[in-house]
Structure 1
Amino acid sequence: MNTVLLRRRIIDILTLVFAMAATAFGLFWLVWILFTTFVQGLQALNLDLFTEMTPPPGGEGGLLNAFYGSAMMILLAVLIGTPIGIAAGTYLAEHGRNTKLASTVRFINDILLSAPSIVIGLFVYELAVRTIGHFSGYAGALALAIILIPIIVRTSEESLRLVPNQMREAGFALGLPRWKLTSQIIYKSAMSGLVTGILLGLARISGETAPLLFTALNNQFWNPDLSGPMANVPVVIFQYAMSPYDSWHALAWAGALVLTVFVLTLGLLVRFLARKRSSR
């Protein structure tokens, strides 16, 4: 009996040691990446980054047009993907919870969640860019929306499922129609979860590069029109980091720092909302 207990304890200790070693290994690279990004990015961070356009080769400038392009495409993607995702999540959680159609939708949604973003970018390239004949910010926003939708669908369904059934039964007992029950009671109860899902999707699409290479491409100049090629931060970082110019390298690090801080802020906000929801 003592031998069995000793063997179990040794296995338990070894498992704990390997788990801690794997955690430390992952954290080491994460801290190194963040430290390098902050050190290199802070050296290149200045006011010109937010007030000047992307420069010509070897020149000085900023990322104003790239920030604007990313903001516009992300905003349009959120406007497209949020209502579709919440509507699909509502159907899965409230109306067709156990139907065959709901099972099919969940299966397709899981496939989209794991689909490589470059495949989605190629799909939108064939669907929109080749059809129109040129790259555009609209195509970029469409690609980002397709990435965003399955995230919101999954989080919306889970958030709505967490609402107690007693609230639904009470609403039906008062004679409320299902649409009013969902819009005025269920959505309000699950609001923090719905917002959390939107923020998670927003953080996911903020740093996507491959879909935008196929759809929005890039633009060195200021272009407020989404119907043409549009500058964006991920593609600018990708192109400038591979260039032979030190000034472009500095801009790439500064853009990476701004993007990292933005995503980290969204992550902290998501954690705050999730903790607030769990404490209720």
Structure 2
Amino acid sequence: MTNVTAPAQTGVGKTSAFLQISGRRKSADSIAKVLIYFCMFLAIIPLVFVLWELISKGLPPVLNAEWWTDDMLGTRYAKAGGGAIHAIVGTLVQSALASVIAIPIGIFTAIYLVEYSRGGWLGRTTTFMVDILSGVPSIVAALFIYAAWITVLGFDRSGLAVAWSLLLLMIPIVVRNTEEMLRVVPMDLREASYALGVPKWKTIARVVLPTALSGIATGIMLAIARIMGESAPVLILVGTTPALKWDPSSGPMSSLPLMMLDMFKAGLNPNVLDKMWGAAFTLVLIIALLNIGARVISAKFSIKQ
């Protein structure tokens, strides 16, 4: 009898211990969930507050048709009227110039680091330089362009100089994001393509890049969003103007960050504050539309796994 009942008691003890451990794990899991939700709630509070302030104060001036068609030429900042087309065009032109150069350089650099670099000195040097550029402040990039482009080469302060500065800030973001997205692509896809006799360059172009397109596009939009909001380059490398200007090669050229700064320096007049909040809302709206467009493009053209 003793030999029969002892295992039963042992089994009951093990079951009780298991239930006790399981209960502690459930309690710890519940506490962790509460902490996570609480921290998420704390993080959302300032975001909601900022969005509310931005929308409530920046939306009214944007709803006026003149905001999208007129510039500030001939309109005093303290008076009602005028628009932001000169700042919108300046922001888009400067960002487009930087993106046209930075995106191909960043993507091809990432392809080399992931697909072709085998730990050689060139790959290590490239990675080291990208890491350095990632930590360069915008004011340092602007001063470098000022010294090289304006002081040494003798060019004027212009939107083109701003684009060169934004280029330095954008390249490391594109490289790092593209590199991570390419590493996520399963090696099985590459090997299956190689097994079919497809060359490596065509495998990268037809298989690897389309598979990682969604993440690459998101990273590019994040890079564009960062450079659009930079204020240091426009302060140092280009002068402000209230007139619409499409040519970035010479002379003053406004932008949305520069317009906000001009309005801030103009005082606390209600009309000035409306224009300042309107410029901020316009900048956020443009970035949001670019992100939505990138999501649509990546969803349409990326390979579904």
TM-score range, shorter chain: 0.7 to 0.9
Flag the 1:97–1:198 CA change in 2: closer, same or farther, 3 A: farther
Flag the 1:79–1:133 CA change in 2: closer, same or farther, 3 A: closer
Q: Which residue of 1 aligns with 2:13?
A: none
SS in 1 for 2:82: coil
How far off its partner does 1:174 sit?
4.1
Deviates more, 1:101-110 or 1:252-261: 101-110
Contact 1:243 / 1:249 at 8 angstroms: preserved in 2? no
Q: Which residue of 1 aligns with 2:227?
A: 205
SS in 1 for 2:194: helix
Deviates more, 1:188-197 or 1:236-245: 188-197
Flag the 1:215–1:87 CA change in 2: closer, same or farther, 3 A: same
Deviates more, 1:72-81 or 1:237-246: 237-246
Contact 1:129 / 1:136 at 8 angstroms: preserved in 2? no
How far off its partner does 1:269 sit?
5.6
Contact 2:77 / 2:263 at 8 angstroms: preserved in 1? no
Corresponding position: 1:260 with 2:284:
yes
Q: 1:223 aligns with which of 245, 250, 275?
A: 245
Corresponding position: 1:145 with 2:167:
yes
Q: Which residue of 1 aligns with 2:69?
A: 51
Deviates more, 1:144-153 or 1:96-105: 96-105
Alignment of 1:147-226 (within 5 A): 147-226=169-248
How far off its partner does 1:205 sit?
1.6
Q: Which amino acid aligns with 2:68?
A: F
How far off its partner does 1:262 sit?
2.4
Q: Which amino acid aligns with 2:70?
A: E
Q: Which residue of 1 aligns with 2:56?
A: 39
User: Percent identity at matched positions?
Assistant: 32
How far off its partner does 1:7 sit?
9.6
Alpha carbon RMSD of aligned pairs, Å?
Answer: 3.0
1:194-248 Cα shifts (integer Å, max 9, x gaps): 3222222122222111122122332222222111221111111122123214322
Give me the whole-angstrom Cα distance separating, in 2, the residues matched to 1:155 and 1:127.
28
Flag the 1:225–1:275 CA change in 2: closer, same or farther, 3 A: closer
What TM-score does the superposition give when structure 2 sets the normalisation length?
A: 0.79
Flag the 1:122–1:94 CA change in 2: closer, same or farther, 3 A: same
Contact 2:68 / 2:83 at 8 angstroms: preserved in 1? yes
Give me the whole-angstrom Cα distance separating, in 1, the residues matched to 2:215 and 2:297.
8
| Contiguous gaps of at least 5 residues in structure 1 | none
Q: Which residue of 1 aligns with 2:11?
A: none
Contact 2:66 / 2:83 at 8 angstroms: preserved in 1? yes
Q: 1:26 aligns with which of 33, 36, 43?
A: 43
Q: Which residue of 2 aligns with 1:232?
A: 255
How far off its partner does 1:279 sit?
7.1
Flag the 1:28–1:275 CA change in 2: closer, same or farther, 3 A: farther
Give me the whole-angstrom Cα distance separating, in 2, the residues matched to 1:265 and 1:16.
34
Give me the whole-angstrom Cα distance separating, in 2, the residues matched to 1:130 and 1:101.
31
Corresponding position: 1:113 with 2:134:
yes
Corresponding position: 1:96 with 2:96:
no
| Contiguous gaps of at least 5 residues in structure 2 | 1-16
Deviates more, 1:128-137 or 1:15-24: 15-24
Contact 1:143 / 1:212 at 8 angstroms: preserved in 2? no
Q: Which amino acid aligns with 2:67?
A: L
SS in 1 for 2:218: helix
Corresponding position: 1:128 with 2:145:
no
Give me the whole-angstrom Cα distance separating, in 2, the residues matched to 1:126 and 1:112.
17
How far off its partner does 1:31 sit?
1.1
What TM-score does the superposition give when structure 1 sets the normalisation length?
A: 0.85
Q: Which amino acid aligns with 1:239?
A: D
Q: Which residue of 1 aligns with 2:3?
A: none
Flag the 1:6–1:161 CA change in 2: closer, same or farther, 3 A: closer
How far off its partner does 1:78 sit?
0.8
Q: Which amino acid aligns with 1:99?
A: G
Flag the 1:232–1:11 CA change in 2: closer, same or farther, 3 A: same
Q: Which residue of 1 aligns with 2:264?
A: 241
Q: Which has the greater radius of gyration?
A: 2
Flag the 1:6–1:184 CA change in 2: closer, same or farther, 3 A: closer
How many residue pairs get aligned? The number is: 280
Flag the 1:98–1:212 CA change in 2: closer, same or farther, 3 A: same
Q: Which amino acid aligns with 2:258?
A: V
Flag the 1:178–1:248 CA change in 2: closer, same or farther, 3 A: same
